[in-house]
Amino acid sequence: MTPIKQGTTFTELDAWGTVADLGSEILDGDGKIYGKMTFGAPTDALSAGYFAVTKSKFRMVYPFNEQATVVFGEVILTDEGTGQSKRYKEGDSWFVTKGTPVLWEVLSDSFTKHYMAAV
């Protein structure tokens, strides 16, 4: 069993580059990302881990199905296909399907989620 730690920040994770390295379009801020796998590897059919990003605004198309829970910070996610927007903070969760275009607006200095992804 692997506990998911609330309050986890990017300072506890490994530097992974920027969201642009993952194919996202940075609209504001530097979009530096950090992470640590808790199951599998990012390229596996099923994986889980922490993902953190510095304050920024960026657009991405989800490359996998994902269930995520916020463990630190606040973000507004907008489904650009439907226009639906929601603010998420520590303890909140979401599910997004592969191929969904999402606009991320990180409101806090940094944001961390724990996620499970399935290709």
Examine residue 5 and state whether it is found in any structural domain, yes or no.
Answer: no
Examine residue 4 and state whether it is found in any structural domain, yes or no.
Answer: no
Q: Find, among 70, 69, 63, 72, the residue nearest to 97 by Cα.
A: 63
The predicted-structure confidence for 79-101, as pLDDT tens digits, reads as follows 999 999 999 999 999 999 999 99
Strand arrangement of the beta sheet that strand 46-54 belongs to: 14-18, 32-39, 46-54, 110-118, 65-72, 93-96
Q: What is the structure's pLDDT at 71?
A: 98
Range of the domain at 87: 10-118
Examine residue 69 and state whether it is found in any structural domain, yes or no.
Answer: yes
Average pLDDT (4-33) is 96
The CA distance from 79 to 19, in Å, is 17
Examine residue 105 and state whether it is found in any structural domain, yes or no.
Answer: yes
pLDDT value at 65 more than 90: yes
User: How many domains does the chain divide into?
Assistant: 1
Its pTM stands at 0.95
- CATH number, domain containing residue 53: 2.60.120.10
**Per-chain mean pLDDT for the chain:** 97
Place of tokens 């499970």: 116
